[in-house]
């Protein structure tokens, strides 16, 4: 019996070449994608992924030009069609999601209008039907109050919401081919998983093809059938997903996957407490003066010497506010912060300046955190008692930079090197604690691997403690000894890394970790039954429920959850959890400091 023939490719690309002036950005690329197949395309920034994605639609950013090649969709070469013919196919036959959502949305038109315009251009819908369909698309992508969002302008929504608007525009007409360039870069992990689940299901059900360009290996491992690796404009690897992760053939891929083979950090044991937060709370009054946003609600945690506490949660959960309250960059409304036994809230301005030398912070965007007018030497010298060229060179060496960069200004460095400078400045004062606020989110995968290794090496060498704030659960898992999970300003579970990542107990922590996309194709999300999904939408932080903030979405909620506050309780295994039904099943006791 003859084996069943593979279906013909929906997309077939041959010798596609794109150049910018004298520089070739895409070099004779060949690829095929079958109906129903999701192909992941990865590579570092500048490797040519975005240029390739645009070229598949017959587009190139000026002064780029498509020099040669074929792009056949169901046999028709898109590059030989006239521009009006190609324009009619974009959106209807080929959908595109780009990485920078705000640059792709008109600031003069409401969100619903822009989605509706795409729908009406390709589907037989009148205005009312297009408006209703736009609201449905926003609802399916997890936006709360989608009717109100449809009437908002792009500047009135977050970057993550803007990304979901682009996704709605790309998927609305049901294209047969979707080219998605970092489509989830601005999304929280639960919304990301929700979107990718739907994308995977749609591709399988209707036979559409997807080229998914991403630097997130967790996405590729969990959703893609094949992996392409791009370097310097060329495809250097093409393999099925499981084989790629088991035995990557090129040096770039082996380097990316090397972090997954690093042993987890070992806790230092009974370490002395460096920092303790008790009942930390912070709210913000909105511009109209009548409504209050509760950003942090009675947060309690400790950090030991030489330990890392990972603080995780979705956007708006209060993570960054916690970090800023610890340094008194903003003043908490209530609670205590004890640093090395001293109450930060009672420190005089002079005492606070001395204490801040012992607590440093590394911000999310390294370029924004470095003075563009100063040299690297000036930036690091500012953190020292007095200018010291030898100490600057030593610090640069600590973070893996050539001392020669001291004479450069920040813009002359890559994002990864800029973040290394930020870390060098932070350790210059020999702090006991460093608050790391999303320090790897703006970095390429290779730079992220390097920064994680650097932070671990520095901690082993200097004995510093870290509060590592991040939504990147893979990085948190590789760096943290303990993990705290936040939801709507509350810490809902706190325990060791093993407890949180292997057996979370709070319903929200379960849902968050279920959405975590580990770069391991043996545990693909699409191959396992999900029992930790939450129903409904996240409540507004300016109109929180009376009892448990998760009660309206929680599969384990009982009647009392909707009316009674949930205190932090200690379970038998030592973790703390803010869930009465789970705690009572485990025979836990209420913490004396719980709110």
Average pLDDT over residues 439-456: 83
Residue 589's pLDDT band (boundaries 50, 70, 90)? low
> Interior CA angle at 486 toward 483 and 491, to 5°?
80
Flag whether pLDDT at 234 surpasses 90: yes
45-53: average pLDDT = 90
Distance of CA 16 to the CA centre of its chain: 31
Count the alpha carbons within 13 Å of 439 in the hemisphere toward its beta carbon. Answer: 33
**300 vs 249, more confident:** 300
Residue 528 pLDDT greater than 90, yes or no: no
pLDDT level of residue 239 (50, 70, 90 thresholds)? very high
**Exposure of 505 by Cβ count < 10 A (0-12 exposed, 13-18 middle, 19+ buried)?**
buried
Q: Which residues contact 527 (CB under 8 A, 6 or more apart)?
A: none
CA–CA separation, 32 and 13 (whole Å):
6
CA distance 498 to 452: 18
Q: Which residues, 6+ apart, have CB-to-CB distance to 44 below 8 Å? A: 215, 231, 252, 444, 445, 446
Residues 6+ positions from 564 with CB-CB distance below 8 Å = 547, 548, 580
Residues 1-12 have a mean pLDDT of 68
Question: What's residue 2's pLDDT?
Answer: 47
**246: part of which helix (H) or strand (E)?**
helix 241-246
> In sequence order, what DSSP letters do the residues of 388-432 get, joined into one string?
-HHHHHHHHHHTT--GGGGGS-GGGS-HHHHHHHHHHHHHTT--S
Q: Strand pairing of 38-42 and 209-213?
A: parallel
Cβ-contact 324, 335 below 8 angstroms: no
pLDDT of amino acid 212: 96
pLDDT at 590: 57
What's the burial of 67, exposed, middle or buried (CB within 10 Å: 0-12/13-18/19+)?
Answer: middle
Q: 66, 46, 39: which is closest to 55 by C-alpha?
A: 66
The rounded distance, in Å, linking the Cα atoms of 184 and 58 is: 24
**How many Å apart are CA 159 and CA 173, to the nearest integer?**
23
* pLDDT of the residue at 423: 94
Provide the whole-model pTM: 0.81
Q: Give 398-439 pLDDT, tens digit per residue.
A: 999 999 999 999 999 988 899 999 999 999 989 999 999 988
Q: What are phi and psi of 206, to 5 degrees?
A: -110, 0
Most confident stretch, 165-169, 203-207, 482-486: 482-486
The span from the CA of 342 to the CA of 339, in Å, is 5
In order of 12, 23, 25, 61, the CA distances from 65 in angstroms are 20, 11, 10, 8
The pLDDT value given to residue 301: 96
Predicted confidence (pLDDT) at residue 201 exceeds the cutoff of 90? no
Which residue pairs, CB below 8 angstroms and at least 24 apart, start in 125-132? none
Is residue 187 within 8 Å of 160, Cβ to Cβ?
Answer: yes
Q: How confident is the model at residue 260 (pLDDT cuts 50, 70, 90)?
A: low
Which DSSP symbol is given to 370?
S
Which residue pairs, CB below 8 angstroms and at least 24 apart, start in 140-146? 140/198, 141/167, 141/168, 141/191, 141/194, 141/195, 142/190, 142/191, 142/194, 142/195, 142/537, 144/537, 144/538, 144/540, 145/537
Which residues on neighbouring strands pair with residue 91, listed in sequence order?
A: none
pLDDT at 1 over 50: no
Task: Give the rounded distance of the alpha carbon of 99 from its chain centre.
Answer: 13
- Interval 19-36: pLDDT, tens: 998 899 999 999 999 999
441, pLDDT greater than 80:
no
Q: What share of the chain has pLDDT > 70, as a percent?
A: 93
Which residue, 217, 270, 265, is CA-closest to 245? 217
pLDDT value for 593: 45
Mean pLDDT of 202-227: 91
Q: What percent of the chain has pLDDT over 90?
A: 51
Q: Is the dihedral of CA 520, 524, 529, 531 positive or negative?
A: positive
For CA atoms 122, 124, 126, 130, give the dihedral sign: negative
Helices vs strands, H then E, count in the chain = 22, 23
DSSP per position, 544-590? --SS-TTGGG-TT--GGGGTS----EE-TTS-EE--HHHHHHTT-EE
Token pair, residue 532, equals 């930790």
The structure tokens 């595109």 sit at 96
Residue 312 carries which DSSP code?
E
Handedness of CA 522, 527, 532, 538 (dihedral sign): positive
Domains of the chain: 11-261 (3.40.50.300), 273-500 (3.40.50.300)
Following DSSP, what letter does each residue of 500-555 receive, concatenated? Answer: HHH---SHHHHHHHHT---S-GGG-GGGS-------S-PPPTTS--SS-TTGGG-T
Place of tokens 């325990």: 495
Question: Could you report the per-residue pLDDT of 240-253, keeping only the tens digit for each?
Answer: 999 999 988 888 77
- Residue 591 reports pLDDT greater than 90: no
Determine the pLDDT at residue 595: 47
- pLDDT over 70 at 287, yes or no: no
CB 447 within 8 A of CB 455: no
Judge whether residue 539 has pLDDT over 90.
Answer: no
* Residue predicted with more confidence, 575 or 249: 575
* Structure confidence at residue 367 (pLDDT): 83
C-alpha 60/C-alpha 104 separation (Å) is 15
Query: pLDDT tier at 46 (50, 70, 90 boundaries)?
Result: confident
| Res. 45 pLDDT band, cuts 50 70 90 | confident
Backbone conformation region of residue 489, classed left if phi is above 0, alpha if psi is from -120 to 50, else beta: left
> If pLDDT is split at 50, 70 and 90, which confidence band does 594 have?
very low
Q: What Cα–Cα distance (Å) separates residue 187 from each residue in 162, 184, 416, 472, 526?
A: 10, 5, 22, 11, 19
**CA separation for the pair 379, 392 (Å, rounded):** 10
Q: Do strands 433-437 and 359-362 pair parallel, antiparallel, or not at all (unpaired)?
A: parallel
Average pLDDT, the chain: 88
């Amino acid at each position: 019996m003859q084996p069943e023939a593979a279906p013909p490719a929906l997309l077939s690309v041959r010798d596609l070449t794109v150049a910018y002036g004298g520089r070739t950005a895409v070099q004779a690329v060949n690829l095929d994608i079958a109906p129903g197949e999701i192909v992941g395309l990865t590579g570092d920034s500048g490797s040519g992924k975005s240029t390739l994605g645009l070229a598949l639609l017959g587009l190139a950013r000026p002064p780029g030009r498509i020099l040669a090649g074929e792009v056949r969709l169901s046999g028709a070469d898109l590059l030989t069609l006239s521009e009006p013919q190609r324009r009619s196919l974009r959106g209807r036959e080929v959908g595109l999601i780009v990485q920078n959502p705000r640059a792709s949305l008109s600031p003069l038109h409401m969100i619903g209008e822009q989605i509706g315009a795409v729908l009406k251009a390709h589907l037989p819908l009148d205005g009312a039907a297009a408006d209703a369909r736009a609201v449905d698309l926003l609802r399916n992508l997890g936006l709360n109050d989608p009717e109100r969002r449809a009437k908002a302008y792009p500047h009135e929504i977050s970057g993550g919401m803007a990304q979901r608007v682009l996704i709605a525009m790309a998927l609305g007409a049901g294209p047969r081919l979707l080219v998605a360039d970092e489509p989830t870069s601005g999304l929280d992990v639960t919304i990301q998983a929700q979107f990718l689940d739907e994308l995977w299901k749609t591709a399988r059900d209707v036979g559409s093809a997807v080229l998914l360009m991403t630097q997130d290996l967790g996405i590729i491992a969990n959703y893609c059938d094949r992996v392409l690796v791009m370097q310097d404009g060329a495809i250097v690897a093409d393999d099925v997903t499981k084989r790629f992760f088991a035995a990557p053939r090129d040096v770039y891929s082996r380097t990316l996957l090397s972090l997954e083979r690093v042993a987890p950090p070992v806790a230092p044991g009974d370490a002395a407490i460096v920092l303790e937060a008790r009942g930390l709370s912070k709210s913000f009054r909105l511009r109209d003066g009548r409504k209050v946003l509760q950003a942090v609600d009675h947060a309690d945690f400790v950090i030991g010497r030489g330990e890392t506490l990972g603080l995780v949660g979705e956007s708006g959960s209060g993570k960054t506010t916690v970090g800023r309250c610890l340094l008194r960059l903003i003043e908490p409304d209530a609670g205590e912060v004890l640093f090395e036994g001293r109450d930060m809230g009672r420190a005089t301005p002079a005492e606070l300046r001395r204490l801040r030398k012992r607590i440093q912070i590394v911000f999310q965007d390294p370029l924004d955190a470095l003075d563009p007018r100063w040299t690297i030497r000036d930036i690091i010298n500012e953190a020292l008692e007095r200018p010291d060229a030898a100490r600057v060179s030593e610090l640069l060496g600590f973070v893996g930079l050539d001392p020669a960069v001291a004479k450069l200004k920040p813009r002359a460095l890559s994002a990864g090197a800029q973040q290394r400078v930020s870390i060098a400045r932070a350790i210059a004062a020999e702090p006991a604690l460093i608050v790391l606020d999303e320090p790897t989110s703006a970095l390429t995968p290779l730079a992220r691997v390097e920064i994680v290794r650097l932070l671990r090496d520095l901690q082993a060498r200097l004995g510093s403690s870290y509060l590592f704030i991040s939504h990147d659960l893979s990085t948190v898992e590789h760096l943290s000894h303990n993990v705290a999970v936040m939801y709507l300003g509350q810490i809902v579970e706190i325990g060791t890394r093993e407890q949180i990542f292997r057996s979370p107990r709070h319903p929200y922590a379960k849902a968050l970790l279920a959405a975590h996309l580990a770069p391991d194709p043996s545990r693909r999300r699409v191959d396992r039954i999900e029992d930790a999904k939450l129903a409904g939408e996240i409540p507004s932080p300016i109109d929180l429920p009376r009892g448990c903030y998760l009660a309206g979405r929680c599969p384990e909620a009982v009647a009392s959850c909707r009316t009674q506050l949930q205190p932090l309780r200690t379970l038998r295994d030592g973790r703390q959890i803010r869930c009465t039904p789970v705690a009572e099943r485990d025979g836990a006791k209420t913490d004396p400091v719980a709110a």
